[in-house]
């Protein structure tokens, strides 16, 4: 019995041993097959994956193209960006290292909080930027103390720099970090320090100025740590953009516009100190950190003026200056503007972010009268010798339309109507020629539509027509609206650039030049002739000369000295609120008003009179009278343009001009009316 039992156990054991051995053989066979598959069949694939894991491709940001003025002065260029980084694995205590760093250079509290948060989220060997845009002196202090700053390292990159800051910002624009909505899949846009154009030329020519990124391979270990960097391909720098702008004239125009009628004094000047002690707290705070103070003729501290000035070559359309005040410093946008600073810019009532030269829309006031004069001459419904009597107002139905001169100008011909800026004369002309002719000539001279300037953000303005009013307001056009349109009020809106373009076309022989800010290569192309009778254009230029050089012109105070280049132009004052009959009877409208209720001051002009070279337009927001505020500014800017680029020999289309006379007290060109 025992032998039989032992034999059964032996057989069971043998079977089990065979099963286990077979299982082992199967597992070994499967493992061997898998190893064969991985090492032989898939060898090429895993070799490629291994190589890709060992070497990563790194993009090198390209050097952004510069923005240059006509004389190759850089308005936007690139500079070394010294930054300090910290590597967590190289220091035992990040907070202590940051504290030691703060004893050497300034590191804001919010940067410290950001770094402490970032080092926890990133791998220990990944560097975290602590602070950037440091000066060479600050970097030197960090380098000297490097042995006592474990984990701290210095890196050098490139950042955008705007050397003229707020002087040219509305033209250059600025660059800033790429937002999520601007990501297009281009890996260059995802680089941490990459910047793109957000406004101005930077935005318009962003793709051209970016250039092409370079590439290089870096060897990394399994954790992604960079072991070594290999030589790669250099990228292509971006294209430089050359402008027709003259930065010296731009700087002069910006400063002259901001100064207005005030005098700029050093803060330590006794007159400035006295004026500051008498100023309100808001003005004192505004001038707290400034080296100069604006003091008016009454010894009071005043704010800088707000507005725009444009200088254009009348024959080529080149823009030599395009000033908009106030401006702002674009450099902080590159570093990252704080929410507080952004809110302050948005809340500023003088709108520093707005490029007023191309996007500011204003009633043109009496600067519009030359076009009404030209429309009357072209239609044949009035001539240069047409006279009207101005008693100080005109009756239309039950409404009285007033002239700016209370008791009127008496009898005037066409030239004197421009020189003395008589409103009643243009009411009478408007009754003869109608709104259709006025609108048509205005649009031919560049008003009411985009000029085509190579800058973003341009606005169209508005030249009203019968069809426009019916479509937008659902009511027909009225004769009274024709009268106020004839003196540049009512619905009419223009930009300072449009006014400069209008003036250029009036004085260049009726050539339809197009304004442009980018420097053109090669000779200028042919310009379309507007087919305006040259005799009528001569009459307009002669009338504009009479404004400045005549004995009764509204801008005769800007005639200048005997040897000064003779210029011509037209004053304008545009109301921003309606003057009611009650205001007129009480005289309240003449009292001091809050800034936002004051009239806009305008002036358009050209020079030299004999051979026009440059056109200028100036708009001073809520500046008061065109003759007292805008005209002196425009005259100074125009003469500075002619000083920088002296007049050439008179050409065959020399402008006619009126007689000059002795200076006298200028009258205020202000259309005042009721209804």
Q: Round to whole Å and give the CA distance between 77 and 607.
A: 34
Distances (CA, A) of 635 to 360, 383, 453, 565, 632: 21, 30, 24, 10, 5
Is 366 considered catalytic here? Answer: yes
CB atoms within 10 A of CB 3: 7
Low-confidence ranges of the chain (pLDDT < 70): 1-4, 45-58, 192, 216-230, 232, 578-592, 647-675
Enter the tokens of residue 550. Answer: 């005549």
Cβ atoms 376, 384 nearer than 8 A: no
Handedness of CA 583, 588, 589, 595 (dihedral sign): negative
Beta bridge partners of residue 396, listed in sequence order: 399
Residues belonging to the chain: 675
Q: How far is CA 390 from the centre of its chain?
A: 43
What DSSP string describes 598-634? SPEEEEEEEE-SSS--EEEEEEETT---IIIIIHHHH
Distances (CA, A) of 309 to 79, 260, 326, 634: 31, 12, 12, 8
Range list for CATH 3.40.710.10 in the chain: 307-644
What topology is assigned to 58-242 in CATH? Penicillin-binding protein 2a (Domain 2) (3.90.1310)
Task: Kindly give, in sequence order, each residue whose CB lies less than 8 Å from that of residue 598, ignoring residues fewer than 6 positions away.
Answer: 576, 622, 623, 624
Cβ atoms 623, 670 nearer than 8 A: no
Predicted pLDDT of residue 665: 32
Predicted pLDDT of residue 116: 92
Q: Round to whole Å and give the CA distance between 52 and 216.
A: 14
* pLDDT tens for each residue of 29-48: 888 888 888 788 777 766 65
Task: Kindly give, in sequence order, each residue whose CB lies less than 8 Å from that of residue 66, ignoring residues fewer than 6 positions away.
Answer: 74, 75, 76, 77, 78, 240, 241
Residue 209, CB-side half-sphere exposure with 13 Å CA sphere: 27
Enter the tokens of residue 522. Answer: 């090669």
Task: Kindly give, in sequence order, each residue whose CB lies less than 8 Å from that of residue 594, ignoring residues fewer than 6 positions away.
Answer: none
Predicted pLDDT of residue 124: 80
Nearest to 173 by CA among 209, 133, 211: 209
Task: Kindly give, in sequence order, each residue whose CB lies less than 8 Å from that of residue 312, ignoring residues fewer than 6 positions away.
Answer: 318, 319, 320, 500, 501, 503, 504, 515, 614, 615, 616
Q: The tokens 């307001």 sit on which residue?
A: 473
Predicted pLDDT of residue 656: 38
Distances (CA, A) of 381 to 420, 537, 654: 22, 16, 27
Q: Round to whole Å and give the CA distance between 414 and 434.
A: 17
Predicted pLDDT of residue 1: 47
What topology is assigned to 307-644 in CATH? Beta-lactamase (3.40.710)
Beta bridge partners of residue 296, listed in sequence order: none
Q: Identify the active-site residue in 244, 324, 366, 421.
A: 366
Residue 626, CB-side half-sphere exposure with 13 Å CA sphere: 32
Range list for CATH 3.90.1310.10 in the chain: 58-242
Predicted pLDDT of residue 418: 97
């Amino acid at each position: 019995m025992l032998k039989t039992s032992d034999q059964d156990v032996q057989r069971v054991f043998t079977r089990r041993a065979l099963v286990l051995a077979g299982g082992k053989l199967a597992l070994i066979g499967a493992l061997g097959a898998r190893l064969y598959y991985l090492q032989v069949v898939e060898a090429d694939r895993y070799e490629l994956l291994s190589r890709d894991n060992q070497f990563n491709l790194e993009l090198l940001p390209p050097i952004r193209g510069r923005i240059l003025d006509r004389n190759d002065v850089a308005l936007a260029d690139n500079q070394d960006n010294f930054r300090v980084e910290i590597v967590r694995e190289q220091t035992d205590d990040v907070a202590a290292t940051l504290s030691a760093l703060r004893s050497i250079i300034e590191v804001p509290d919010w940067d410290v909080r950001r770094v402490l948060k970032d080092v926890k989220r990133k791998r220990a060997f990944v560097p975290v930027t602590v602070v950037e845009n440091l000066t060479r002196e600050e970097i030197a202090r960090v380098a000297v103390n490097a042995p006592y700053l474990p984990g701290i390292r210095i890196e050098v990159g490139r950042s955008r720099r705007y050397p003229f800051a707020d002087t040219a910002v509305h033209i250059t624009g600025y660059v800033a970090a790429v937002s999520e909505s601007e990501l297009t899949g281009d890996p260059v846009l995802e680089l941490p320090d990459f910047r793109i154009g957000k406004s101005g030329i930077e935005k318009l020519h962003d793709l051209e100025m970016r250039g092409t990124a370079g590439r290089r391979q870096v060897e990394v270990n399994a954790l992604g740590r960079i072991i070594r960097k290999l030589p790669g391909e250099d990228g292509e720098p971006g294209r430089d953009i050359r402008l027709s702008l003259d930065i010296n004239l731009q700087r002069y125009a910006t400063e002259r516009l901001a100064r207005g009628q005030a005098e700029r004094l050093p803060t330590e000047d006794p007159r400035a100190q006295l004026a500051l002690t008498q100023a309100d707290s808001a003005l004192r705070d505004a001038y707290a950190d400034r080296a100069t103070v604006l003091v008016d003729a009454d010894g009071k501290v005043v704010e800088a003026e707000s507005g725009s000035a444009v200088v254009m070559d009348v024959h080529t359309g080149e823009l030599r200056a395009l000033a908009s005040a106030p401006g702002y410093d674009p450099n902080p946008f590159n570093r990252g503007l704080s929410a507080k600073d952004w809110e302050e810019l948005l809340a500023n009532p003088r709108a520093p972010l707005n490029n007023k030269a191309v996007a500011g829309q204003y009633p043109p006031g009496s600067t519009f009268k030359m076009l009404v004069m030209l429309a009357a001459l072209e239609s044949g419904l009035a001539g240069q010798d047409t006279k009207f009597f101005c008693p100080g107002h005109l009756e239309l139905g039950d409404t009285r339309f007033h002239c700016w001169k209370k008791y009127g100008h008496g009898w005037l011909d066409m030239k004197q109507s421009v020189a003395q800026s008589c409103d009643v004369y243009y009411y009478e002309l408007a009754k003869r020629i109608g709104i259709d002719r006025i609108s048509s000539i205005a649009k031919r001279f560049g008003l009411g539509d985009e000029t085509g300037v190579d800058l973003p953000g341009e606005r169209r303005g508005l030249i009203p027509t019968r069809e426009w009013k019916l479509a937008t307001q659902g009511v027909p056009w009225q004769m009274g609206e024709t009268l106020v349109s004839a003196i540049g009020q009512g619905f009419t809106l223009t930009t300072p650039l449009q006014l400069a373009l209008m003036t250029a076309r009036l004085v260049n022989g009726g050539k339809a030049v197009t304004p442009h800010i980018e420097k053109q290569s090669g000779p200028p192309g042919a310009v379309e002739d507007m087919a305006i009778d040259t005799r009528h254009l001569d009459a307009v230029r002669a009338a504009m000369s009479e404004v400045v050089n005549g004995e009764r012109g509204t801008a005769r105070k800007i005639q200048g000295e005997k040897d000064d280049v003779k210029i011509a132009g037209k004053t304008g004052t545009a109301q921003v609120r309606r003057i009611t009959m009650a205001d007129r009877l009480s005289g309240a409208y003449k009292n001091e008003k809050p800034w936002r209720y004051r009239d806009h001051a305008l002036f358009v002009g050209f020079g030299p009179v004999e051979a026009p070279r440059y056109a200028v337009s100036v708009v001073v927001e809520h500046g008061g009278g065109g003759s007292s505020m805008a005209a002196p500014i425009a005259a100074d800017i125009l003469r500075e343009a002619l000083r920088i680029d002296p007049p050439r020999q008179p050409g065959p289309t020399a402008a006619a001009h009126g007689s000059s006379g002795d200076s006298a007290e200028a009258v205020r060109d202000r259309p005042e009316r009721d209804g």
